[in-house]
Amino acid sequence: MLQLQEGETITTFFLIKEREIKQASNGSDYANFKLERNLEVIPARLWDITADQIDQLQRKAIVKVEGTVVNFREKLHLTIQRIRLATEADQINVSELISKKGVHREALWHELRLMMEEVESEIMRQIIKQLFSRKVLRERLTTIPASKNYHHTYYAGLLDHIVHVTQSALQLLPLYPKINKSVVVATCLIHDLGKTEVFTDAVAPDYSTAGEFLGHITLSLELVQDAAREAGISRENNELLALKHCIASQYGEVSQGFGSTASPKTAEAIFFQHIKQMNAKLQAFEMVQEKANEQWVYSPMLKRKLYTNMNDHGNKEG
């Protein structure tokens, strides 16, 4: 983590997450940036930006920055003294700047493929095969975050989320032998694949037009239906309907307004929506806790302050 102290000078590499060009009162241009490194985002400002720098310092660029940490309105910002684009000689990979420590997409993908073998239903296996055989889908799945702001917001965050939800299901399913294991595991593997059409860029993800218009649940359902059609599976197939119902109800009761298009009406849907929400909420809590420097910090996802187990000196309590 970046341990920033007011007045210190730092020199390191960042990804330009956002950029805004503005004009000062004296008529000169300056740039406000949001710079990202290892899931931390720091606001930064470059005064008297040149025309060449405006052309070069675009969103998604990797840059080497030298700047001074200043306190502005009770928040730490970076005033940039020197900045340049990273070069091949720097040997900086963009994934290094947007990754979470300990998350390795190759290992996660291997784990995901092993868990596919837990699906016993031939119908579910055919749908999984049709979906995961798509090269573009696989590439996006193994790189994009699960969300922009709420949970698993890092490189390969969606894959990390799917793997851990599936692992949780496999641990708990033996306690509920009447639940259809194949439907639940297939749901875990497939439920968020629509996000591969919502976020098409892993580096600085924005919502696609389809994502804005339809949302990831609808896009996930469309992918499943397309896969079923390609596999020759009837729309009326009971297992297919059960799978789609779990996806449609993944955020719980419709009345709660969290995004479900149907309320959970099967044992599989009830089981799945709870383990999915547990994973997302606990990871959102972990994000807050990792960045916390005070005891109570507001979570945008949970819409309330969370206790971070920090003492008054900014240290974790035992």
Q: Judge whether residue 250 has pLDDT over 60.
A: yes
Residue 53's identity, in one-letter code, is Q
Q: Judge whether residue 283 has pLDDT over 70.
A: yes
- pLDDT at residue 313 in the model: 47
Give pairs for 282-290: CB < 8 Å, separation 24+: 283/151, 283/152, 283/161, 284/150, 284/151, 287/39, 287/151, 287/153, 290/1, 290/39
Which residues in the chain are classed under CATH 1.10.3210?
100-286
Per-residue pLDDT reduced to its tens digit, 24-37: 999 999 999 999 88
Nearest in space to 138 (alpha carbons), one of 166, 110, 117, 118: 110
Which residues in the chain are classed under CATH 2.40.50.140?
9-94
Quote the DSSP letter at residue 299: E
Which CATH architecture describes the domain 9-94? Beta Barrel (2.40)
Nearest in space to 88 (alpha carbons), one of 104, 106, 64: 64
Per-residue pLDDT reduced to its tens digit, 157-185: 999 999 999 999 999 999 999 999 999 99
Rg (CA), the chain: 22
Task: Read off the pLDDT of each residue in 3-17 and give the average, rounded to a whole number.
Answer: 89
Q: Judge whether residue 219 has pLDDT over 80.
A: yes
Q: Average per-residue pLDDT in the chain?
A: 91
- pLDDT at residue 292 in the model: 76
Per-residue pLDDT reduced to its tens digit, 119-149: 999 999 999 999 999 999 999 999 999 888 7
- pLDDT at residue 311 in the model: 52
Residue 302's identity, in one-letter code, is L
Distance CA 290, CA 310 (A): 10
Does 1.10.3210 match the CATH number of domain 100-286?
A: yes
Nearest in space to 44 (alpha carbons), one of 11, 13, 19, 9: 19
Q: What phi, psi does 55 have (nearest 5°)?
A: -70, -40
Does the pTM exceed 0.85? no
Q: DSSP for 128-197?
A: HHHHHT-HHHHHHHTTS-S-SSSS--STTHHHHHHHHHHHHHHHHGGG-TTS-HHHHHHHHHHTTTTHHH
Helix-strand-coil split of the chain, %, nearest 5 = 45, 20, 35
Nearest in space to 310 (alpha carbons), one of 301, 297, 298: 297
Output the CA torsion sign for 172, 174, 175, 181.
positive
Per-residue pLDDT reduced to its tens digit, 94-121: 887 888 887 888 999 999 999 999 999 9
Split at pLDDT 50, 70, 90, the class of 316 is low
Q: Judge whether residue 10 has pLDDT over 70.
A: yes
Q: Judge whether residue 245 has pLDDT over 80.
A: yes
Per-residue pLDDT reduced to its tens digit, 36-83: 887 788 999 999 999 999 999 999 899 999 999 998 877 889 999 999
Task: Give me the percent of the chain exceeding a pLDDT of 70.
Answer: 96
